[in-house]
Amino acid sequence: MRLPPRYVWTLAVLACFVVVSPVAAQEGALENTPPKGITPEEIITRFAAREKLFKEAREHYTYRQDIKVQTRDGDTVTGEYHEVFDVLYDDKGHRIENVVFAPQSSLEQGGLSLDQGDVQDFRNRLPFVLTTEEVPEYNILYVGQQTEDQLHCYVFDIAPKAIVGKKRYFQGRIWVDDQDHQIVKTYGQAVPEIRDTKKKGKEEHLYPKFTTWRQQIDNQYWFPTYTRADDTLHFNTGDIHIREIVKYEDYKRFGANVKILYQGKELPKADQKPDDKKPDSAPNQQPPQK
């Protein structure tokens, strides 16, 4: 988020590994105990491999994304951006975004405007994915174990080792299911933020902390379904309260002939018995909208 009017901006380097604390929401106490029968490094290797599979699989699903961003003064909405679009694919498999609802934004009335970083975040950082190829770019610290509703999870804090070019990164905390070794929840912030107060207009680009919950789709993939941010951005000219709700709905597999491979083998469409399935609608995986 930035203060209007528009400016050409430059990236600032993140100088240190800052850990942000997650919002407690129907979760057990964090236990600072080592995992049993597996090392943190092995957990990272496993979930990164599953994340690569998840990323490839999601590229073969259509879904609807609903983005709502508000500036607020107490309970009063002072500005709003709202966009709903369907993610589809053409006959060559190329991704298409079909906008179905996009009224005129009134965010500037609340003192903000969206920048290119926000656009990238809505599509890439909020549904954060950490694949095998991306792991070397991050510092990853095992911090313990925690129960998220009915899921027992390993917990890691992560932050980029360096900011390279104009690439955006995630900094925060992730929860990894100890059975499927997939990320089921993330809490943190897209980085870098930009605070260049020496430039004319005192250019600033700040971004809220957010939580993304995932749900199991087709009994195998933990896809993002709900993101919520409720934060105050501390601009030099004053604080602005912002709220974001992003929903990912109606996942449908696209292309019956597509094969998803894991460790060189085709993954069956459903390899769990009904009694072995995890609940698809655990409360903290789909918090109620306020």
pLDDT cut 90: percent of the chain above it: 60
| The pLDDT value given to residue 24 | 42
Alpha helices per DSSP H over the chain:
40-58, 116-120
Q: Is the pLDDT of residue 16 over 70?
A: no
Three-class SS state of 20: coil
CA dihedral 217, 218, 220, 225 (to 10 degrees): 0
Q: Is residue 268 within 8 Å of 246, Cβ to Cβ? A: no
**Nearest CA among 47, 10, 55 for reference residue 181:** 47
Three-class SS state of 49: helix
Query: In 61-182, at which residue ranges do the beta strands (DSSP E only) sit?
Result: 61-73, 76-89, 95-101, 138-148, 151-160, 169-177
| Average pLDDT score over residue span 121-125 | 84
pLDDT in tens, 245-259: 999 999 999 864 445
| The pLDDT value given to residue 78 | 96
48: left (phi over 0), alpha (psi -120 to 50) or beta: alpha
Tell me the β-bridge partners of 252.
62
Three-class SS state of 246: strand
| The pLDDT value given to residue 2 | 58
CA dihedral 230, 234, 237, 242 (to 10 degrees): -10
Three-class SS state of 51: helix
Q: Is residue 83 within 8 Å of 100, Cβ to Cβ? A: no
Least confident of 1-10, 43-52, 141-150: 1-10
pLDDT in tens, 208-252: 999 999 999 998 899 999 999 999 999 888 999 999 999 999 999
